[in-house]
Structure 1
Amino acid sequence: MTGELKVPFITRWSDEREVSRADLCLSTKGLFYRHDDAADRDKFGALWARTVGRAGVGEPRFRDVSFSRQRQAMRDLLCQVCAGPASTTRLGTLFLLEGTVRSAAELEEEPTGQPPLCLPCARLSREQCPRLVRRYTAVRAKKPTIWGVFGVPYLPPTPFLPAMGGLVPEPRTLQVGYGRADLRFVLAHQLLRQLRRVTVIDLDAELARSPAGQL
């Protein structure tokens, strides 16, 4: 890692935690909170996990993502590290994806939960993030379209699983597109965008051309 370790905007802190799911209920219509709040659902109908606590208090948990700040960064196309506007050019908005360089065709219409980045923070992320330091693919997407959520699915009620009780989360997380019927049984943790009109880019070349990238 290079330089002082920076805590990304979307990182969860030890003071922040998910609220107990004891208030979570299940019916044939889907998941809901016993004491529902309009802020618990997004405009597409997805129910979001509740959290308490404050960012910046305690220790950063670099492996964990804040549900609310990830959602904000993805929704508003903010840099996931500094929360400023993401880098956007004629080729689209900048994203860094894990893994070796892949083709644009392979990445076309792929959902991602990784919010975009500005150029200086892309450089920093490549140097400091263990998941990107060896293998990453830098892309720009002209149409990074809001697609769905990543979250925890719950089993729909059956005669053996009464509604309003006995909630059973499935032992896996799930990507679910908006508009799908099973969305109503998922507790959302992250907002996903589908990368469309993708171009794989040379990040070093872009940094070399941009004074901001040298910061």
Structure 2
Amino acid sequence: MEWSPFFISIRTALLATLLTFFLGIYAARYVMKTKKLKGIIDGIFTLPMVLPPTVVGFFLLIVFGNYGIFGAILKKLNIDIVFTWYATVISATIVSFPLMYRTALGAFEQVDPELIYAARTLGISERRIFWSIMVPVSRPGIIAGIILSFARALGEFGATIMIAGNIPGRTQTMSTAIYTAVQGGNRELAFKWALIIVGISLVMMVLLNTWSNFYVKSERFSGDGK
């Protein structure tokens, strides 16, 4: 059993989750602060979550293909994105981004406005308010977003196979390896990869539930202590 799809999937999911973390929380912050076209912007940020992954992959091909918006520029710089490992990261980031964005936005909206107003009266900068108050207070929601984003990036298939292909040892993830195994009639191998993905995803969900229960209990304990 060749393990390269496992390592490619883990590397892709980890980097995609890191990118999604920063993109998601900054996008959530932007939407909270904006007043014009807020509904449209929110819809655009959420769109990859409701679109079929193959449609997302198709649009990524349009953007990063040789004749795409960025593809033409990258081609002049001798930089290839399509059918490379970077394409797997981009596709995983795009499809997992809405999960981080929505959970972060929901968490930020629950922050007590009085905390922010008090910080502003003390002359604290907006950036420091964001990182020192909003992010720590919203920690449970942000951690939930990180875990969900990782699980989503790990299992990404449709957009990945469209823009990154299914090249063994380069862009073949566990999801695309399952597809290849089924197409080749090797259901035993497909079942093994499926079990690995299910196992990792299940562990992520258990960690999420464990963290949520621990946080709720710690909040109750601190509340009782007061």
Using structure 1 for the length normalisation, give the TM-score: 0.28
Larger helix fraction of residues: 2
Using structure 2 for the length normalisation, give the TM-score: 0.27
Structure of larger gyration radius: 2
